[in-house]
Structure 1
Amino acid sequence: MRTLCSSTLLGEFFVIGFAGLVAMKDPHLSTAAVWTVSGVAMALCVLLCGMVTRPAGVALGWALQIALIASGAVLPTMYFLGAVFAGLWGASVHFGRKVDAAKARHAARAAEAGSAPADAA
């Protein structure tokens, strides 16, 4: 799960950075406000890469997805990009858990086969 979710979060990191560049062109937004919000969101993406294996990490990831969609109120394109990344996040969590379960089953079978006594026929 860590690899899939981290990949999604790193993609979001770059999208948030580029969105910050686009948002700077809005005359109603101050540069400081744009980069404070963008910087916090980008830092959260990087921090979540290390937390995705914990239950709180997945929940915070969903909160980030909601915030990304909500940022469409400032930059309308983010409604679409936020929805795309929310879908990618959901798929990353779902399939990542399946991969982790398959790896655990494989490791259990390998350990069982390695510790089973050899037949002395």
Structure 2
Amino acid sequence: MQAQGPSTTDKLKMGAMMGGTAGLAMGFLFGSWTIIRYGPGPKGALATLSKYMLNQAAFFGFFFSIGAVIRSDSNSNLSPLQASQIMARSPAMAIRSRTEGAQMMRARWEEERRRFRRA
């Protein structure tokens, strides 16, 4: 039996948490700079800083979660090192015509259909 990695939902949550953390840090920096440069505004420094931090956390969290899911979309069993070694040995294999690419896609779709029918 093959070991299972984290699910797509787990990766989505992990990306959102990483993005949220990065966004909080960026929001703190930008919010602090805005307060120092332009003043705290009518609602005060804490409200201004928290607004910047939450906006940045939501922004980064959204895009990091999408990125984490996109990166995990591949079902390839190759590690990045193995893939780079294959590409280094035969770079011409990476360049294909449209018809070859379409044939490869159809073959993969058929393989996936067969796999899902068995499951």
Q: Per the shorter chain, which TM-score range?
A: 0.3 to 0.5
- Bigger Rg over Cα: 2
TM-score (norm 1): 0.33
TM-score (norm 2): 0.33
